[in-house]
Amino acid sequence: MPAKSVIACCHNILSQDLTIAFVESATTGRLVYDFTAVPDCGQIVMGSIVCYDRSVKEGLLKIPAEVIDKYSAESPEVTQLLAEGLKSLIPADIIVAVTGLASPGGSETEEKPVGTMFVHAIIKDRAWKTTLFFEGSPDDIVAQTIDGIAALLLEELTSN
């Protein structure tokens, strides 16, 4: 069952007759799954790309290898480029990109520990980004990230 924030966000997108698309890394497809699990809201979702592997980021979404090498695949810089790349592939009103560290073994550092998640969204032509941090198991971190993204999207959609 999707979080209440996801349900509210989906209903708001539906009421505004908008569409949404996702490019996900750390959330591994669970973001689009939760949004399409809300009754009557499958029609708002244009599509999703899960770009867990670096080769998908580079090949499909055209992220330069040099950018990934410089900043890491889990960074605000790469997340922004993922959102921009998706916008050219899927013509949705809302684009959401997410990368991050839900479990050990990535690019974690003291400044960027496991639980750090990067979000970059574009609503029409207005972009916003944030860094979130959560603790818990990988499943907990992903669930909290989805809830956080939905709450932030709903806030953005209702504040304008």
CA proximity to 155, closest of 8, 3, 35: 8
Give strand pairing partners of 144. none
Sketch the domain layout of the chain as residue ranges: 4-155
pLDDT at 1: 81
Q: For the domain with range 4-155, which CATH number is right: 1.25.40.10, 3.40.50.150, 3.90.950.20, 3.40.50.10490?
A: 3.90.950.20
Please identify every stretch of the chain with a pLDDT value under 50, giving residue numbers as ranges: none
pLDDT of residue 93: 98
Rounded to an integer, what distance in angstroms lies between the CA atom of residue 97 and that of residue 22? 6
- Model-level pTM greater than 0.85? yes
pLDDT for 103 equals 93
